[in-house]
Copies of this chain bind each other. A is one copy, B any other.
Amino acid sequence: MITGQQLINGQWVQGEAGQYQAVNPATAAFIEPVMSYASKAQVQQAVAAAAAAAPVFAATTLKQRAEFLELCAEEIMALGDALPERVAQETGYPKARAEGERARTVNQLRLFASSIRSGEYLNIRIDTALPDRQPLPRPDLRYTNQPIGPVVVFGASNFPLAFSVAGGDTAAALAAGCPVIVKGHNSHPGTCELVAHALHKAVQKSSLPAGVFSLIMGAGREVGAELVVAPEVKAVGFTGSLAGGMALFQLANNRPEPIPVFAEMGSVNPVVLLPEALEQNAEAIAAGFVGSLTLGVGQFCVNPGVAVAIQSPALDRFCRAASAALAKVPAGVMLNEGIAAAYQKGTAHLSAQTGVELVGSGEAVGDKAGFCTQAKLFKVTAEAFLANPHLQEEVFGHVSVLVSCADQAQLLAVVRALKGQLTGTVQATAAELATQTELISLLRQKVGRLVVNNFPTGVEVCDAMMHGGPFPAATDARFTSVGTASIARFVRPICFQNYPPELLPPELQNANPWRVPRLVNGVKTSAAVDA
């Protein structure tokens, strides 16, 4: 079923810019079949098709788009076992994890369908005409959100389904009514192609223009750059490294017409362990921490890469328990050779920094096949941490650094020195939390999600999720890339002034046939407007 082709304007075509094969990271063996890379000309065809599709797709109703998203979910499930099997082959993930991620992906599509049906995201505001107002009359003004235009989505390596071809960025952009061109991740091209087949079928069955969805694969950064600088493209979604995200961000800002790049670039997700909580629960906290650190071989944006605590006998207990728990963690297969090599280099670099000591390690790699690495927990003093910005750099994988502080003032100094983060976690008793107002105030300035007595891994796809945060966690702290609020990245407002009532989009008409919640003359209501 996998052909190695690109999906461009509804046609499956051989890429014109070379061939390659995916690699099974658990065995380092090539996977069949031979895949292809798109040429510049093919990128332009995909972009032109998306631009042509944009006004037609923008004119679909909320119901039509909701049904299309549900069909996408259905077609993904209809791929059957071939999909989780290919995911497992291409990522080294257990098949159960692949199945779980598939469930998350189709639920995400269905959640967006249900969310846009309500029309809440349109943020409709109506101020009716006041023809007799003095000194000047007020015209009729009606504000709604509309799609921003064609969106380019860069798939992430670590979520081959949920942050890839039909992942969160794509679901949000399609829900908004924006055509999507996915630049698939080269670590899982077969997975990309399978999912693109499903979306292609959904586009066809929904009688949407072919340009609503295209899949492009490319070597190196050229194809991605071509997509981001194409004048027809109006926004970019990206999940990946700081270097990759910033390269796209700068490209996009230096276009003749700058466009928004929503890049989620990961972080070290500090976990602050407060003294009373450690005193009462050092062992349980250590177990939870090591579980979060090593889940999925630590290959998560929200992996806890830094822990912060005050020296104490309880902290020593935490270290002993963490070390013991870590010792039982098997060496893990990483997503690809490059990620495994970066992990080896990153952990070697960490351990070579002044003052860094090893607290514990997972099981050794031994003679395991494929791109395996060993989990690590390091420790460093607050002085050394504050003196060395390298210790704040994310090493992608199952490694963390515990920063040991002399006292509360030093703990606050460490938190104050942290850059922007996706998440910040506090392990605390209720009494501790109530008195730590400065710590909470600092964390609120630095993080997108503030977690108490949980761990940061596990990003719920729901209305209330914020997955983003101050730079360098993301390029724009004002938006989430997970959950229904993420649709805001791909819409922009338009205001209709004195527009003929019968020509207004249905959601703006007085009758409000879809019962969309609207702010009418300052009052939120789903009722019709009395004419």
Contacts and interface: CB of A to CB of B under 8 A. Distances in A.
B499 A450 contact: yes
Interface stretch (A194-202, A252-260, A378-386): A252-260
Given A141-B465, A463-B127, A258 B497 contact: no
Contacts of A476: 260
A168 B412 CA distance: 36
Interface stretch (A182-190, A303-311, A396-404, A486-494): A486-494
Given A126-B464, A503-B434, A517-B524, A445 B55 contact: yes
Given A258-B249, A463-B125, A495 B139 contact: no
A475 interface: yes
A450 B468 CA distance: 33
Contact of A464 (B142, B258, B445): B142
Contact of A250 (B148, B253, B445, B524): B253
A196 to B, nearest CB: 27
Contact of A447 (B59, B488, B494): B494
Copies in the complex: 2
A146 B444 contact: yes
Contacts of A491: 478
A493 B503 contact: no
A444 B125 contact: no
B450 A522 contact: no
Contacts of A464: 125-127, 141-143, 495, 519
A497 B142 CA distance: 36
Contacts of A475: 258
Interface in A234-279: 249-250, 253, 257-260
Interface string A119-130: 010010111000
A450 B498 CA distance: 9
Contacts of A450: 494-497, 499
Interface stretch (A25-33, A85-93, A362-370, A452-460): A452-460
A503 B478 CA distance: 24
A65 interface: no
A449 B498 contact: no
A257 to B, nearest CB: 4
Contacts of A146: 444
B257 A494 contact: no
A415 interface: no
Interface in A110-158: 114-115, 118, 120, 123, 125-127, 135-136, 138-139, 141-143, 146, 148-149
Given A125-B462, A127-B462, A138-B460, 18 more contacts: A55-B444, A123-B485, A125-B464, A125-B484, A126-B464, A127-B460, A139-B458, A141-B460, A141-B465, A257-B472, A433-B503, A448-B492, A449-B494, A453-B498, A463-B519, A477-B492, A478-B493, A524-B524
The 10 tightest CB contacts between A and B, nearest first, are A466-B495, A141-B464, A125-B464, A143-B464, A125-B463, A127-B464, A477-B492, A449-B495, A451-B497, A257-B471
Interface of A: 54-55, 58-59, 100, 114-115, 118, 120, 123, 125-127, 135-136, 138-139, 141-143, 146, 148-149, 249-250, 253, 257-260, 419-420, 430, 433-434, 441, 444-445, 447-454, 458, 460, 462-466, 468, 470-472, 475-480, 483-485, 488-489, 491-500, 503, 517, 519, 522, 524
25 contacts: A55-B441, A114-B522, A118-B524, A120-B519, A127-B462, A127-B463, A127-B465, A136-B458, A141-B465, A257-B472, A258-B471, A259-B471, A260-B478, A430-B500, A433-B503, A448-B492, A448-B493, A449-B496, A450-B494, A450-B496, A450-B497, A451-B497, A463-B519, A464-B519, A478-B491
